A and B are shown apart, each in its own frame.
Chain A
Amino acid sequence: MKPRFPLGLPAAVAAFVLLAGCSEEPQVVQYEQGKYQGKTDSRPWEGGAFNGDKTAWERALHDRVRSQNEYRRVE
């Protein structure tokens, strides 16, 4: 006797949904010992006021460091 509703299609969908859980990607990060794993950082002279000019940035910083020496600043 032929069934009133075709059972093949719902069974296939149910099997697909249930088995979909088995294909889940591992959610644990694989850490590599001793190597930075975070996001990359931009350098201080990139963008902003210095626009990639490393020499200008170094000069600006050098002047700031030197100005901390009040013996030189007052002479």
Chain B
Amino acid sequence: MARMKFLCDAERCIECNGCVTACKNEHEVPWGVNRRRVVTINDGVPGERSMSVACMHCSDAPCIAVCPTNVIYHTEEGVVLHDKDGCIGCGYCFYACPFGAPQFPNGPAAFGARGKMDKCTFCAGGPEENHSDAEFEKYGRNRLAQGKLPLCAEMCSTKALLAGDAAELSDIFRERALRRGKGFEAWGWMTAYGKDKEEAK
């Protein structure tokens, strides 16, 4: 059985935020809530790196461990989903998650209420009938049941963000790394133009 994962290639991500836009549009995610976002390290400095981050669908997910109502679960494909009907909005999952994936669209409200937790579903919907209105309203589109991958990865222009079975993603990434080399071989003038900058003058 497949073990679904995301893989973001930091050498390729150009911080276009296309994945963020695609996710928000596909699932009609409200203002102020980002199931996915792009994080840039050393912004503006040569060699800066960007990464697209969402729920990483951990194999040993801390959110599942801390949920007091036990409504977060793993599907057979390794996707971490949750039942919004049983969510009490305590926010424990938010504190436990190392990636800041859980979002609270209805908070903060009066008396510190947060509402139901919302997060990336790997475009796999949730515990409602596949393709039903209830599923779309609560969890967003179920692309996995349509035989498709998450839209953020499928529309990534540089194919920095990959999604799918972990073993197959490893094969793709391995081949990519072998072809392009590593470190300064992987980006910059030499890779783009094949000559040293001084020689090219």
- Which A residues fall within an 8 A CB radius of B? 29, 31-50, 56-58, 60-62, 64-66, 68-71
| Shortest CB distance B31–A (Å) | 27
Residues of B128-171 whose CB lies within 8 A of A: 128-131, 142, 144-149, 153-154, 159, 162-165, 168-169, 171
Residue of A at shortest CB range from B79? A44
Contact A61 B75 (CB under 8 A): no
CB distance from B181 to the nearest CB of A (A): 14
A69 to chain B, nearest CB (A): 4
Q: Is B164 touching A37 in the complex (CB atoms < 8 A)? A: no
**Count of CB-CB pairs between chains A and B under 8 Å:** 105
Contact assessment for A62 and B168 in the assembled complex, using a CB-CB cutoff below 8 Å:
yes
Nearest Cβ in chain A — how far from B53, in angstroms? Answer: 19
Q: What are 11 sample pairs from A and B whose C-beta atoms fall under 8 A apart?
A: A35-B70, A38-B70, A39-B85, A45-B145, A48-B146, A61-B147, A61-B149, A61-B165, A64-B148, A71-B175, A71-B176
Complex Cα spacing A62 to B169, Å = 11
* Chain B residue at minimum C-beta to C-beta distance from A47: B130
User: Quick one: closest B residue to A59, CB to CB?
Assistant: B147
B153 nearest CB neighbor, chain A only = A68
Q: A62-B168, A66-B168 are in contact. Are A44 and B154 (CB under 8 A)?
A: no
| 6 smallest beta-carbon distances between A and B, as pairs | A38-B83, A60-B147, A65-B164, A41-B127, A39-B127, A38-B71
Q: Quote the shortest CB–CB distance from A56 to chain B (angstroms).
A: 8
